[in-house]
Amino acid sequence: MPDIEPRISDFSHRIQICTQLDVVEDGSTISLSRVPAAKVWAKVYALPHLPSFVSPYGYAIKETANRVTHWVTLRYKIDMDFSSAAWLYEERLKSPPRWYKVVGFYDSDLWITLHCHLVEKSTKAIQPRTLLSGKDGTM
């Protein structure tokens, strides 16, 4: 069980908080795009009694989309508001990048803990796409 009051040294994961947008491309085609809203340091805690099963293609399998597999704690920012369109992207140094879907959250005066579901863990995971980037997430 993670500490209720985390230490700053616990925030060792670099996370991009993203929102999902519907983008109309050529008049009739709508694509979903995850656009970064903020880049923050976070503490990621994998729930040991709820392991994730990842397919060879990098996607989570054998679990429902609302199943919480990770808690992600970050410093509370008054200008951040989380909704059902929130996604997290974590880029790691020695393992594949990960996409988490935010299922819910709770907050206190100093911290906000996001209840997340691991959706994808793959070297082929597409980076968050800014409005100026191409379809593959690159500039």
Distance CA 114, CA 109 (A): 15
pLDDT at 78: 62
Q: Which pTM does this prediction carry?
A: 0.76
Return the amino acid letter for 59: Y
The CATH number covering residue 106 comes to 2.40.10.270
Whether residue 84 lies inside any domain: the answer is yes
Torsional class of 57: left (φ above 0), alpha (ψ -120 to 50), beta (otherwise) = alpha
Which residue range forms the structural domain that includes residue 83? Answer: 11-121
> Per the domain annotation, does 133 fall within a domain?
no
* 85 is a domain residue: yes
Lowest mean pLDDT among 36-40, 50-54, 81-85, 130-134: 130-134
Q: What is the CA radius of gyration of the chain?
A: 15
**Residue 135 forms part of a structural domain:** no
Q: Between 100 and 130, whose confidence is greater?
A: 100
The domain tally of the chain equals: 1
What number is the average pLDDT over the span 22-36? 71
Task: Identify whether 3 is part of a domain.
Answer: no
Whether 130 is in a domain gets the answer: no
